[in-house]
Structure 1
Amino acid sequence: MNDRQLVAAAAINLFIAVAAGAFGAHGLKAVLSEPMLAIWHTAVTYQMVHALGLFVVALLLPRLPGRLLAWSGGLMLAGIVLFSGSLYLLALTGVRVLGAITPLGGTAFLAAWALLAWRAMAR
């Protein structure tokens, strides 16, 4: 992914995270149980943090060009889809098997941050 694509992905994900947070706080409060609302809010938090991470990667790409940062951004985006997406679906449907997808997203997040650190330390 290039810096413009990452900025667009970040902005779209931040928009979705803000909307999902508001929807959870106002629209789902009377519908979901407290544990499911907590799962929803975890999804929102991780989406927000990693969308900001996409902005960081986009801003660093011109300074630290290379594939590692592009991969880092791609993994952050995949992590958002897998981690937050599976938690949103779990909260809305109660289908527990969706929780098995969540660690894949968490692994993508970890790999993204590791690649970012690796690229920052590389000469």
Structure 2
Amino acid sequence: MRKTFLRLGSLAAMTAVMLGAFGAHALKAALSPEALNTFEIGVRYQFYHALGLIAIGLLLYWRKTNLLHWGGWLFTAGILAFSGSLYLLSARELLGLDVSWIGPVTPIGGVFFIAGWGCLLFATFQDNQKTYRKKHSEN
């Protein structure tokens, strides 16, 4: 699972850089300042949580807890829901899409982010399940 989160984090970071450059160069003239700001917020939060995914992937080399796995999947869902909805909302006029239904998805993505950070926090209080199993199986 650690490689999965390292790969997802790397992919999310790479696409955040690409989207950021695309927004700064190609979308700057096409979007209103407000829409461009919304797009940039999506990029920023995607990048923060890409780094969070990479951190979880690295932590899984030393700690094996279910909460770390949950945190990684919640970060992934948050990137898709929060950042993805902001990308669609900011580009709706440009693409001619009716995405008015997607507005409530953004805060759901934010809740995924918060829950992911909570999982990471509480994982620090868990025993390492891999080490725990080894210790207690010897008895």
| Pair in the same fold by TM > 0.5 | yes
**TM-score normalised by the chain length of structure 1:** 0.95
Matched, 1:11 2:15: no
**Cross-structure match for 2:132:** none
Matches of 2:49 and 2:33, distance apart in 1: 24
TM score, norm. by length of structure 2: 0.85
Query: What is the aligned partner in structure 1 of residue 119 from structure 2?
Result: 115
Q: Does 1:51 align with 2:50?
A: yes
Please, which moves more after superposition, 62-71 or 26-35? 62-71
Identity of aligned residues (%): 42
Runs of 4+ in 1 over 2 A off after TM superposition: 94-97
Distance (whole Å) between structure 2 residues aligned to residue 97 and residue 26 of structure 1? 28
Alignment of 1:105 with 2:109, yes or no, is yes
Instruction: Name stretches of at least 5 consecutive residues in structure 2 with no aligned partner.
Output: 94-98, 128-139
Any unmatched runs of 5+ in structure 1?
none
Deviation, 1:99, is: 1.9
Q: Distance in 1 between matches of 2:17 and 2:100?
A: 25
Which range moves more in the overlay, 91-100 or 7-16?
Answer: 91-100
Give the length in aligned residue pairs: 122
1:23-75 CA deviation, whole Å, 9 max, x = no partner?
00000000000000000000000000000000000011122202110110000
Structure 2 counterpart of 1:64? 63
Cα distance between partner residues in 1 of 2:103 and 2:48 = 20
